[in-house]
Structure 1
Amino acid sequence: MAQKKLKRSISGLKRIRQSKKHNLVNTAVKSEIKTLVKKLNSAITTGVKEDIHSSLLKATRALSKASSSGVLHKNTSSRKISRISKSAHKVLSS
């Protein structure tokens, strides 16, 4: 059974183009956040305090920027910041 070809308006085609671009940007930002959190976790396991501090700053900054730009929900980024801060400060305080 053959399907009809959907008619698309000019604005609909533009929205498709925009959503593809936004998807690429959002994927790149999320990937960068995951990388920064992994680097922080590896710094926590090694226990080098300077690396932990700098990695924590980079990760929290990236999470805050992602929530302010709409890539992540603000509660999601707040939860992740809270969790990584807690684990980092546990090592830094000891």
Structure 2
Amino acid sequence: MANHKSALKRAGQNERRRLRNKAVQTRVKNVVKDVRLAVAQNAENAIEQLNAAKSAIDKAAKKGVLHKKTASRKVSRLNRQVNARQA
């Protein structure tokens, strides 16, 4: 365990960030899963789900939870799936 006041503070900050990052990451996983389910079920709301996923993924990248290129790749792959189902 940390012995200095600054180390205690840093440990607390790290824990708060870990929990926040975990929540954001879980949200990203859930919206991606929603898009894939909508595509698989030929749902009409796949585009709406895609837009929600894009928003959540971009916010995660902005906060540093996801790397910028990882976010871009996820959005691109979801876009391809939705477009393939539309055609």
Q: TM-score, normalised by structure 1?
A: 0.86
Answering whether residue 18 of structure 2 is matched by residue 31 of structure 1, we say no
- Give the corresponding residue for 2:4: 9
- Give the corresponding residue for 2:58: 64
Structure 1 pair 66–44 and aligned structure 2 pair: CA distance change class (3 A): same
Structure 1 pair 9–37 and aligned structure 2 pair: CA distance change class (3 A): same
Does structure 1 retain, via aligned residues, the 8 Å contact 2:60–2:66?
A: yes
CA distance in 2, matches of 1:42, 1:56: 11
Q: TM-score, normalised by structure 2?
A: 0.93
Residue pairs, 1:51-90, within 5 angstroms: 51-90=45-84
Answer with 1 or 2: which has the greater Rg: 1
Unaligned runs of 5+ in 1: 1-5
- Give the corresponding residue for 1:3: none
Unaligned runs of 5+ in 2: none
The size of the alignment, in residue pairs, is 87
CA distance in 2, matches of 1:38, 1:88: 13
The percentage of aligned residue pairs carrying the same residue is: 33
- Secondary structure, aligned partner of 1:91: helix
